[in-house]
């Protein structure tokens, strides 16, 4: 057998640390490594495999589309792209969709659209307010949008026009707003920043402020959208509507795809102002259509609410047993536990040893983002492994 990890070291550019496991095959919520070991996957390709691994509906759509048409240029009309746009519009408050290839690209597109809107309708306003501990992707501009110094410092100078402010503070948004502001861009719950859940009225307050100032609200639903929080989109739970919304991660259940969506009055691009070679290609759009249709037709969001509630309850019980768990938070199937010490990586390793994949989102916190199709039995299994892994820690 090849030593893949040695080969990786030799040939692959290092940009981050990996868990020392080589994954080769997946099915549902299970994944196997090259030694044949089975794991319960509560990472799901980073909240991506919404239907689990290799779901029959996804495989069928990909296989059929691969045999039919994979790529054209966007000079031509293609059917899966239009079907996906229709599906997203008919099931959201947004009116138009643009399909791209990743989350960072979706946020870039959203920011470009907001700037274009600012230049045409808001006297040239261009500045975007974003939050500390946010995550909007790794392009240069999205590094400036992402309010985390560790991602920004290596790449100074960063593109101008972003103001990072405290999350969950309407005051901070108000103070940062000037005549140059064209939009506020926020995650409904901050995912990469540590599963940070804002106060119940935060998004509504920001929405009201944006309305008062005539500026746009961009919701980055790349992690929270497509059912992850128990509704198709997170904004539904906060009684507000964004002007622009970005999607990616769970949209294609594993294929690289992103999208930004907007209200009609915000769609100010004219031909030539934005584009992409691969964006919206038939293969990825067919996969996304199959994913979103499956979620809607099978009421997967109800499952997310039910299993999410059960999972949260189980984690709360775990906290009673292990008081060094200081917080249980999140919604639907985007959950986290925080510890009073930095044992995240040790716990990840212990879970791995016991057959469960989790994410160490911060040195002192674990994040869980299982496929949306799991049941209570997978939660029980995961909790058993967590319990076993935590039992080695001194209170």
Q: Give the residues lining the site for ligand PLP (CB under 6 A).
A: 102-104, 107, 135-137, 187, 191-192, 220, 222-223, 248-249
- Closest approach, Cβ 192 to ligand PLP, in A, equals 5
Q: Which pair of tokens denotes residue 295?
A: 């979620």
Q: Is 249 a catalytic residue?
A: yes
- Closest approach, Cβ 147 to ligand PLP, in A, equals 12
**Active-site choice (42, 132, 135, 162):** 135
How big, in percent rounded to 5, are the helix, strand and coil portions of the chain? 40, 20, 40
DSSP 158: P
Q: Which pair of tokens denotes residue 382?
A: 């995961």
Instruction: Give the other-Cβ count within 10 Å of 112's Cβ.
Output: 15
**Torsions phi, psi for 305 (to 5 deg):** -65, -45
**Torsions phi, psi for 53 (to 5 deg):** -85, 135
HSE value, Cβ hemisphere, 13 Å, CA-based, for 159:
17
- Closest approach, Cβ 168 to ligand PLP, in A, equals 16
**Closer of 88 and 185 to ligand PLP (Cβ):** 185
- Closest approach, Cβ 102 to ligand PLP, in A, equals 4
Residue given tokens 């929080």 in the structure block: 229
Spatial CB neighbours of 10, under 8 Å, sequence gap ≥ 6: none
**Closer of 127 and 220 to ligand PLP (Cβ):** 220
Q: Which pair of tokens denotes residue 109?
A: 């597109």
Q: In whole angstroms, what is the distance from residue 1 CA to residue 251 CA?
A: 35
Q: Yes or no: say if 364 and 327 are a contact pair by the CB < 8 Å rule.
A: no
Q: In whole angstroms, what is the distance from residue 374 CA to residue 53 CA?
A: 11
- Closest approach, Cβ 104 to ligand PLP, in A, equals 3
- Closest approach, Cβ 143 to ligand PLP, in A, equals 11
**Active-site choice (163, 213, 249, 362):** 249
- Closest approach, Cβ 190 to ligand PLP, in A, equals 8
**Closer of 163 and 249 to ligand PLP (Cβ):** 249
**Closer of 165 and 390 to ligand PLP (Cβ):** 165
**Closer of 187 and 364 to ligand PLP (Cβ):** 187
Distance set, CA 79 to CA 72, 253, 390 (Å): 11, 19, 50
**Closer of 118 and 193 to ligand PLP (Cβ):** 193
Strands (E), the chain: 23-27, 30-33, 38-41, 96-100, 127-131, 162-165, 181-186, 216-220, 244-247, 258-262, 325-331, 334-339, 356-357, 359-362, 365-368
Q: Which pair of tokens denotes residue 376?
A: 């209570």
Q: Which pair of tokens denotes residue 3?
A: 């030593």
If 0-12 CB within 10 Å is exposed, 13-18 middle and 19+ buried, where does residue 18 land? exposed
Residue number, nearest CB to ligand PLP: 103
**Closer of 122 and 280 to ligand PLP (Cβ):** 280
The catalytic residues are: 135, 220, 249
């Amino acid at each position: 057998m090849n030593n893949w990890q040695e080969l990786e070291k030799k040939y692959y550019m290092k940009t981050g640390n990996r868990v020392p496991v080589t994954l080769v095959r997946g099915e549902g919520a299970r994944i196997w490594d090259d030694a044949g070991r089975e794991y319960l996957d509560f990472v799901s390709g980073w909240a991506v495999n919404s239907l689990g691994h290799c779901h029959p509906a996804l495989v069928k759509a990909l296989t059929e589309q691969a045999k039919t048409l994979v790529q054209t240029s966007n000079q031509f009309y293609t059917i899966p792209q239009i079907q996906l746009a229709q599906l997203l519009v008919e099931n959201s408050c947004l009116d138009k969709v643009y399909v791209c290839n990743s989350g960072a690209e979706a946020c870039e597109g959203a920011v470009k659209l907001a700037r274009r809107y600012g230049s045409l309708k808001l006297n040239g306003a261009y500045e975007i307010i974003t939050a500390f501990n946010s995550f909007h992707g790794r392009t240069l501009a999205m590094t400036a949008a992402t309010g985390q110094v560790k991602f920004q410092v290596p790449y100074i100078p960063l593109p101008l026009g972003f103001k990072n402010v405290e999350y969950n503070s309407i005051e901070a948004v108000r103070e940062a707003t000037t005549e140059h502001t064209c939009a506020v861009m926020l995650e409904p719950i901050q995912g990469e920043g540590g599963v940070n859940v804002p106060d119940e009225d935060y998004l509504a307050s920001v929405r009201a402020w944006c309305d008062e100032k005539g500026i746009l609200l961009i919701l980055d639903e790349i992690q929270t959208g497509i059912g992850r929080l128990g509704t198709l989109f997170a904004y539904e739970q906060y009684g507000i509507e964004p002007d622009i919304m970005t999607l990616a991660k769970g949209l294609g259940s594993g294929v690289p795809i992103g999208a930004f969506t907007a209200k009609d009055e915000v769609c100010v691009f004219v031909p030539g102002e934005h584009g992409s070679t691969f964006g919206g290609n038939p293969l990825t759009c067919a996969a996304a259509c199959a994913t979103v249709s499956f979620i809607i037709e099978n009421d997967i969001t109800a499952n997310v609410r039910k299993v999410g509630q059960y999972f949260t309850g189980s984690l709360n019980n775990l906290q009673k047993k292990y008081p060094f768990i200081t917080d249980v938070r999140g919604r639907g199937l985007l959950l986290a536990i925080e510890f009073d010490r930095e044992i995240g990586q040790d716990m990840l390793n212990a879970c791995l040893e016991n057959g469960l994949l989790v994410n160490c989102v911060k040195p002192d916190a674990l994040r869980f983002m299982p496929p949306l199709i799991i049941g209570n039995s997978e939660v029980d299994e995961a909790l058993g492994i967590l319990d076993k892994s935590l039992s080695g820690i001194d209170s």
